[in-house]
Chains A and B, each alone.
Chain A
Amino acid sequence: MEDKLISPLAARLFEIDNELDRFDFLAMTALGAPSLEKSELTEENRLVSCETKTWYRLDFDGAVRLTVESDSLFVKGLCVVLAEIAALGDKKTLLRGIGFADECFDRGIVSDARRRGLLSLENEIKKYIKSVTEGDTK
């Protein structure tokens, strides 16, 4: 990724060569991450254009906080990595382009279908940052 929108989890993910190990890493990452409340698993919070059932919530406390739930460990694991990237990136850099989905596709970690799902979450993050910047969180 050009502007080094990278995080410790992303660095570890990209280091793993063996695909089965990579899946296990993402599964463990997903299992160790916070979940959304059951009451938050609503249609309104669903990630559009993701084939799995995936829900998300965005908060801002000076940094972007993304919390995700998915019925797929693989997808949730990727989203948790993306959440760390979003939390560590500054607004300006995040708005310029996150690039995690494309990087995962280029490295053969995700199929094009999953890339599109991840890209839609990246776009939601960017929209949220813009709304926060404009003082409107929803």
Chain B
Amino acid sequence: MKKGNVRTDFPFFESNPSLVWLDSAATTQKPKCVIDALTEFYNKYNSNVFRGEYPASDEATRIYLEAKEKVARFFGASAENVVFTYNATDSLNIAAHALKDRVSAKRNVVVSVLEHNSAILPWMKICADAGAEMRYIPVKTDGSLDYDADGVIDENTCAAVVTAGSNFSGYRAPLGFVCDLFAKKNIPLIIDASQAAPHEKIDVSRLKFDFMCLSAHKMYGPMGLGVLILGKNTEVNNIYRLGGGMVNEVNKGGFAQKDGAAALEAGTPNVAGAYAFGAAIDFLSSLDLDALWDNERRLANILREELASLGANFAEGGNDPLPVVSFAFPFMHPLDMAKVLGTLGFCVRDGKHCAHIAADALGFDSTVRASLGIYNTEDDISAFIEKIKYLKGKYGR
């Protein structure tokens, strides 16, 4: 099991030696094995899957299914319950659509205020169309979610969406507790694990939920591939995307969809992306992830402490946040700070981070967000703090 610095596995840093990447919540850099896998697929295996009777198509199908097995194993799921989608947003839309028939007037859908827009917007539309109410789980003063808040979850709640980790504040949800809370009330639950999955072990075999959504490119895999993991008892109804590959039979009278998760993959999938994500999973599985995740946490804590000493205001993320540090200084607008940091070689994000309701709930118009990955080092954090000090000296008078 590989320990220590993994930075040399990422060609991006060799190509861009002067850049400090602190935008892993937006996308992670890719290890060489993932980049090689993308090329290898097109060089050696390129064929469509589930369609041809020739060996190359069989081989492409085999490696596609093998990638699905790898992802399933990594998350403790059954491969039959793993769906490859186009991104986490796609997964969240498919999941919302699958549950939309439960929504009607006088019923409500519960989401947390910390959700990404991609988790909220499908439900806004579904609720508006059905005349149903959207209810929001609020945040406490420490930035954690108040799942017991009065007047949110009740007997008319027909679906819920909760983040496993906030991309705005880094808040990390107690997933076991959250899953039990909704399972006990028989409320279908969608978990958005896009941000948490790259930073902690998620074992879905221990969790009760209906859909879990995540993104390959946020966990060192390629862009253009999302994952949707179905719960053990999830029924696949109300298919969002119809087309080739998801049906057993079609005639003028109608069609018969495939059973289970297979019905959720219409059209040609991103086979190269799946193959490359399999390589990412192999890469992650070869690492001492607990040690690397502890290091991310340690670096994020150093960053918070140093920024606090310089007078930063934080979007609080509870007592054990993800390595996502969202902050603002009174002396410089986050956009201006991110822009200048960018010119100095520090890649951070500014704004509301596609989580407008979270920004409102946490009391920020905009923040600078520094988000870490397994390749970040103490030198990155030191250099970043030095630049913040420089900016404070230059613009903070």
Contact = CB atoms under 8 A, between A and B. Distances in A.
Interface of A: 19-20, 23, 27, 51-53, 71-75, 113
A52 B366 contact: yes
B251 interface: no
A119 B333 CA distance: 21
Nearest to A50: B335
A71 B333 contact: yes
Interface of B: 333, 335-336, 339-340, 342-344, 351-352, 365-366, 395
A52 B339 contact: no
A51 B333 contact: no
Given A20-B344, A113-B351, A74 B339 contact: yes
Given A51-B366, A52-B366, A72 B352 contact: no
Given A27-B336, A74-B335, A113-B351, A53 B343 contact: no
A73 B351 contact: no
The 8 closest A-B pairs by CB, nearest first: A19-B343, A72-B333, A72-B335, A51-B351, A74-B336, A20-B343, A71-B333, A72-B336
A27 B333 CA distance: 11
A23 B339 contact: yes
A74 B366 CA distance: 14
B351 to A, nearest CB: 5
6 contacts: A20-B343, A51-B352, A52-B365, A72-B333, A72-B335, A73-B336
Nearest to A75: B335
Contacts of A51: 335, 351-352, 366
A52 B343 contact: no
Contacts of A20: 340, 343-344
Contacts of B344: 20
B365 to A, nearest CB: 6
A23 B340 contact: yes
A55 to B, nearest CB: 13
B340 A71 contact: no
A19 B340 CA distance: 8
A71 B343 contact: no
A71 B339 CA distance: 14
Given A23-B343, A73-B333, A74-B336, 5 more contacts: A51-B352, A52-B365, A73-B336, A75-B335, A113-B351
A71 B366 CA distance: 10
Contacts of B343: 19-20, 23
Contacts of B366: 51-52
